[in-house]
């Protein structure tokens, strides 16, 4: 039988290929002991803490789980740009373990993912920060909400922009609702921090909306 590969749906093709070729770790390419079928234990256990990062001034505190190194880079790339939604659970688990190690608790907090512009959200089909916040919230028992903030501005390929351009784009990019309870802390959740401009602007917007304390919690940077 002649197979027209072009016409096979992507997931069926994946299934067929998995049967013939085992999956490989997204980070190192090996095919042994993959967790969630995507990353090997060796890579997961090799994640390291990051070097100190200058806290964006609007944030009251900033926690970065891991260094954005050669192990995490391909994993995050897959998560953000190749429909890697199933990685959210794995990444949230690693971050939850890290928070436990650091003995950090988030009482009276709401996890707020960095919002995507609606056009970007439609284009990608999901918001990586939102999936991470949801999975993390469920693991550490903290509420999360993606309905408290909106993003108005959006630029393609922000990762390729100069810090100045990112700063400009982030300015006045968001709107936020006030806290449901005045004692609640906002904990902004994101997957990667580069310059901190986005977190800084979102924190500023939340403070203007009445949140007294705004913290940042990022998977890697
Ligand atoms: Zn690996």
Cα 199 versus chain centre, distance: 12
Distance 48 CA to ligand 1 centre (A): 14
Average pLDDT (133-152) is 96
Domain formed by 48-220, architecture: 3-Layer(aba) Sandwich (3.40)
pLDDT in tens, 37-83: 799 999 999 999 988 899 999 999 999 999 999 999 999 999 999 98
Q: Find the 22 Cα to ligand 1 centroid distance in Å.
A: 14
pLDDT digit string (tens) for 175-216? 999 998 889 999 999 999 999 999 999 999 999 999 999 999
Those residues whose beta carbon sits under 5 angstroms from the ion ligand 1 are: 25, 27-28, 40, 43
Question: How does pLDDT run across 85-127, given as a tens digit for each residue?
Answer: 999 999 999 999 999 999 998 989 999 999 999 999 999 999 9
In the chain, where the domains are located: 48-220
- The 8 Å CB, 24+ separation contacts for 152-159 are 152/117, 153/117, 154/116, 154/117, 154/119, 154/120, 159/194
Q: Is 56 helix (H, G, I), strand (E, B) or coil?
A: coil
Give the pLDDT score at 169.
67
C-alpha of residue 140 to centroid of ligand 1, in Å: 26
């Amino acid at each position: 039988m002649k197979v027209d590969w072009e016409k096979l749906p992507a997931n069926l093709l994946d299934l067929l290929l998995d049967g013939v070729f085992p999956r490989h770790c997204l980070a190192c390419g090996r095919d042994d002991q993959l967790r969630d079928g995507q990353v090997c234990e060796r890579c997961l256990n090799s994640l390291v803490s990051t070097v100190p990062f200058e806290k964006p001034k609007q944030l009251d505190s900033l926690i970065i789980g891991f260094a954005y190194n050669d192990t995490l880079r391909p994993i995050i790339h897959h998560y953000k740009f190749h429909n890697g939604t199933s990685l959210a659970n794995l990444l949230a688990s690693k971050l939850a373990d890290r928070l436990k190690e650091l003995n950090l608790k988030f009482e009276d907090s709401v996890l707020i993912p960095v919002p995507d512009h609606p056009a970007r959200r439609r284009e990608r089909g999901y918001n990586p920060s939102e999936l991470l916040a949801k999975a993390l919230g469920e693991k550490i028992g903290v509420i999360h909400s993606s309905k408290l903030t909106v993003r108005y501005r959006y630029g393609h390929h922000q990762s390729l922009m100069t810090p100045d351009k990112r700063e400009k784009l982030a300015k006045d990019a968001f709107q936020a609702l006030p806290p449901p309870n005045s004692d609640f802390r906002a904990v902004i959740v994101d997957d990667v921090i580069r310059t901190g401009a986005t977190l800084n602007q979102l924190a500023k917007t939340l403070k203007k909306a009445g949140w007294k304390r705004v913290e940042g919690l990022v998977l890697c940077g």
